[in-house]
């Protein structure tokens, strides 16, 4: 079996199954935990508890003015990275193809040149984030294998993807196989490390929002 056939066949099946099982495991493991009993009566709130959850999810996207001087660099690097990745995944023609294959949905794609530019910016921001993590003494102290591994498993797909679309380095078949395999590694690691924040950030912010709304605090 060629590497590409392996990547598009058994490896893909295994990665998808592990990712689904892992995500369900972690979500069940978190949501089925006992919650702290609240004995105080809920206060009146403008948004209500569910509204509070959604409001907090949105408001936490905007950095607080007080902290801005200290967090500006990391917020901007992180913003370029996240938004860049979103543009690549939702705007790139082959990715829309994959989504179409799974869900049947499709939409017009962005021009390849634009995706390549965005990929370059995404890679640059990722390198910036890594440099920051290594140079900042506090971050360096706090960083674990999970942090570096998660960075690597996101960096490799973006790098292999942009090399593949350029079609200058390496054979198309080999690069495509490596790109798909790197995505599969990402899928396998996703539920078990900090990459799970993809889903949990919304759960966490939502829980905070419900709590604050219950207390009558601003969400």
Partner 1 sequence: MLARCGFGRRGLLKFAIAMTSSLALPPSVAPVMAANLAKAKRRSVIWLSFQECTGCLETLLRSSSPTIDQLIFDFISLDYQESLMAAAGSAAEQTLREAMAANKGEYLLAIDGSIPVKDGGVYSLTGGRSNLSMLEEVAADAKAVLAIGTCAAYGGIPKAYPNPTGAVGVEDLVSNKPIVNIPGCPPVPEVLSGVLVHFISFGRLPELDDRKRPLAYFGTTIHDQCYRRPFYDQGKFAKSFDDDGARQGWCLFELGCKGPVTHNACASLKWNGGTSFPIEAGHGCIGCSEPDFWDAGGFYTSLAGGSATGWKSAGIAAAVGLAGGAAAALSTRIATPLEDAPASPPEKTPPEKTPPDKLP
Residues near partner 1 (CB under 8 A): 1-2, 4-5, 7-9, 12-13, 16-18, 20-34, 36-37, 39, 93-95, 97-98, 101-102, 109, 111-112, 172-173, 176, 180
> Residue 50: what are its φ and ψ, rounded to 5°?
-70, -40
Q: Rank residues 94 and 204 by Cβ distance to partner 1 and give the closer one.
A: 94
Q: Rank residues 93 and 134 by Cβ distance to partner 1 and give the closer one.
A: 93
Work out how close the CB of 3 gets to partner 1 at its nearest, in angstroms, rounded to a whole number. Answer: 11
> Residue 181: what are its φ and ψ, rounded to 5°?
-65, -40
Nearest in space to 192 (alpha carbons), one of 163, 166, 153: 153
> Residue 171: what are its φ and ψ, rounded to 5°?
-75, 150
Given a contact cutoff of 8 angstroms between Cβ atoms, the answer to whether 25 and 196 are in contact is no
Work out how close the CB of 156 gets to partner 1 at its nearest, in angstroms, rounded to a whole number. Answer: 18
Work out how close the CB of 88 gets to partner 1 at its nearest, in angstroms, rounded to a whole number. Answer: 13
Given a contact cutoff of 8 angstroms between Cβ atoms, the answer to whether 180 and 31 are in contact is no
Distance of CA 22 to the CA centre of its chain: 16
Q: Rank residues 130 and 203 by Cβ distance to partner 1 and give the closer one.
A: 203
Q: Rank residues 75 and 89 by Cβ distance to partner 1 and give the closer one.
A: 89
Q: Rank residues 31 and 67 by Cβ distance to partner 1 and give the closer one.
A: 31
CA dist 54 and 33 (Å) reads 22
Q: Residue 69: how many CB atoms within 10 A of its CB?
A: 8
Work out how close the CB of 35 gets to partner 1 at its nearest, in angstroms, rounded to a whole number. Answer: 10
Work out how close the CB of 209 gets to partner 1 at its nearest, in angstroms, rounded to a whole number. Answer: 22
């Amino acid at each position: 079996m060629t590497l590409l056939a392996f990547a598009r066949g058994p490896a893909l099946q295994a990665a998808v199954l592990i990712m689904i099982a892992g995500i369900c495991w972690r979500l069940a493991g978190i949501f089925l935990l006992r919650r702290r009993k609240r004995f105080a009566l809920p206060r009146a709130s403008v948004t209500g508890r569910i509204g509070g959850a959604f409001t907090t999810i949105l408001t936490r996207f905007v950095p607080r003015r007080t902290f801005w001087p200290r967090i500006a660099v990391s917020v901007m690097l992180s913003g370029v990275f996240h938004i860049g990745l979103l543009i690549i995944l939702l705007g790139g023609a082959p990715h829309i193809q994959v989504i179409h294959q799974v869900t049947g949905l499709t939409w017009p794609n962005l021009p390849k040149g634009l995706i390549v530019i965005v990929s370059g910016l995404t890679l640059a921001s990722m390198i910036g984030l890594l440099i920051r993590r290594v140079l900042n003494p506090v971050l360096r102290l706090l960083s674990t294998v999970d942090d570096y591994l998660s960075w690597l498993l996101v960096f490799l797909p973006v790098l292999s993807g942009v090399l593949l679309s350029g079609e200058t380095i390496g054979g198309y078949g080999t690069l495509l196989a490596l790109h798909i395999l790197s995505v599969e590694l990402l899928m396998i690691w996703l539920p078990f490390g900090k990459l799970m924040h993809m889903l949990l950030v919304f759960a966490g912010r939502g829980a905070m929002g419900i709590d604050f709304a219950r207390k009558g605090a601003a969400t």
